[in-house]
Amino acid sequence: MRLPEDLVAEIDRRVEAGEFKNRSDAIKTIIILYKEREKTREFLRMLRTRSDEAKEKPEELVPLEEIS
């Protein structure tokens, strides 16, 4: 895998600071966090869609705006 030198340097700094065991651990962690963020975004899109549907069918669903 090729990465820009500044990104490798940032990863190395974080490894040296003890945030990660090594470069591989850092890259795996970054990928896992990215995947989780994408799942969260997908969930939010689904909630927004359901909220829009709730506005059309208030007898069946509750819009997000009404949830405290």
Say whether pLDDT at 42 is over 90. Answer: yes
Task: Please tell me the predicted confidence (pLDDT) of residue 68.
Answer: 65
Q: What is the mean pLDDT of residues 24-48?
A: 95
pLDDT of residue 34 exceeding 90, the answer is yes
CA distance 16 to 51: 46
pTM of the model: 0.69
- The arithmetic mean of pLDDT across residues 44-51, rounded, is 87
54 band by pLDDT with thresholds 50, 70 and 90? confident
CB atoms within 10 A of CB 12: 14
Q: How far is CA 7 from the centre of its chain?
A: 20
Residue 52, pLDDT score = 81
The string over 41-59, giving b where at least 16 C-beta atoms fall within 10 Å of a residue's C-beta and e elsewhere, is eeeeeeeeeebeebeeeee
